[in-house]
């Protein structure tokens, strides 16, 4: 597709990200790769845009980011993204721009949060050969499908995740904080609290620390990450 990589320019500001990485390495995220750190920053961008904080990138065999996206289910429309749809997940917004003239089994989808069933299917149909996610999703996470579904059997997908410690709690807690706040009595919220007291506790801690006020004040990620890491 002609426009496949024209999105690259907007996808992330490498200069800004370098500053962010320097700031957060000292705060407990040093185990994360550069693409994983970019995903967290994209997740923050999503929250600033008024939607579920999840970010995703696709890296090639050399580890270079060739596509990226963020959740855009809610919030203001953005012409660079699939927006205002229940299907506008971060992973879809990264995968949908990949070229179709070759298979991408040497590429990896990296996400801030364990993909749902929709996005696991999209990864497979996009021919991407590997998945890395930072935070676990105790309710909608479906990475296990990649190890069991018949349609991936003849072309296995390598799965890595979730991360451990503060990275898991921060990435998962961000997304959970959004959904728990949006509907505290939903079936999702009840299931999340039952299945993962640790991650929902991290989400509660982020809310207590003022994550939504930080987003409302347009705090930059390098500033917010330090405060949020201290909370989880
Ligand atoms: Zn999804």
Each residue's pLDDT tens digit, 53-101: 999 999 999 999 999 999 999 998 888 899 999 999 999 999 998 999 9
DSSP codes, the chain: -TTTTTTHHHH--HHHHHHHHHHHHTTT-TTS-HHHHHHHHHHHHHHHTTS---EEEEE-TTS-EEEEEE--SSSS--TTS--SSTT--HHHHHHTTS-SSS--TT-EEEEEE---HHHHHHHHHTT--EEEEEE--TTT--GGGGGT-GGGTTS--EEE----HHHHHHHHHHHHHHHHHH-TTSHHHHHHHHH-HHHHHHHHHHHHTTHHHHHHTT--HHHHHHHHHHH-
Query: Residue 12: pLDDT band by 50, 70, 90 thresholds?
Result: very low
Task: Please check the confidence at residue 24 and state whether its pLDDT lies above 80.
Answer: no
Q: How many A from CA of 88 to the centre of ligand 1?
A: 8
The alpha carbon of 125 and the centre of ligand 1 are apart by a number of angstroms equal to 14
Cα 206 to ligand 1 centre (Å): 22
Instruction: Indicate whether 112 pLDDT > 50.
Output: yes
Average pLDDT over residues 14-43: 74
Q: Considering only residues 30 and 51, tell me which one the structure prediction assigns the higher pLDDT.
A: 51
Whole-prediction pTM value? 0.90
Q: List pLDDT tens digits, range 197-231.
A: 999 999 999 999 999 999 999 999 888 998 999 99
> 214 C-alpha to center of ligand 1: Å?
25
State the pLDDT at residue 3.
35
């Amino acid at each position: 597709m002609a426009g496949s990589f024209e999105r690259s320019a907007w996808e992330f500001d490498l200069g800004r990200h370098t500053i962010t990485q320097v700031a957060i390495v000292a705060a407990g995220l040093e185990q994360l790769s550069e693409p994983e750190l970019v995903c967290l920053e994209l997740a923050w961008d999503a929250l600033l845009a008024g939607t579920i904080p999840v970010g995703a990138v696709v890296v090639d065999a050399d580890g270079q980011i060739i596509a990226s996206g963020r959740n855009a289910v809610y919030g203001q429309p953005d012409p660079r993204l699939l927006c205002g749809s229940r299907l506008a997940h971060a992973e879809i917004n990264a995968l949908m721009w990949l070229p179709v003239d070759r298979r991408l089994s040497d590429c990896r989808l990296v996400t801030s949060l364990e993909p749902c069933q929709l996005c696991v299917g999209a990864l497979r149909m996009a021919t991407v050969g590997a998945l890395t996610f930072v935070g676990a999703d105790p309710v909608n996470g479906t990475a296990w499908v990649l190890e069991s579904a018949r349609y991936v059997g003849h072309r296995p997908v390598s799965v890595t995740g979730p991360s451990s410690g503060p990275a898991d709690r921060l990435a998962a807690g961000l997304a959970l904080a959004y959904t728990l706040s949006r509907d505290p009595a939903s079936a999702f919220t009840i299931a999340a609290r039952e299945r993962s007291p640790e991650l929902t506790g991290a989400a509660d801690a982020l809310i207590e620390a003022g994550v939504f006020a930080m987003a409302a004040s347009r705090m930059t990620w390098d500033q917010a990450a330090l405060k949020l890491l201290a909370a989880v």
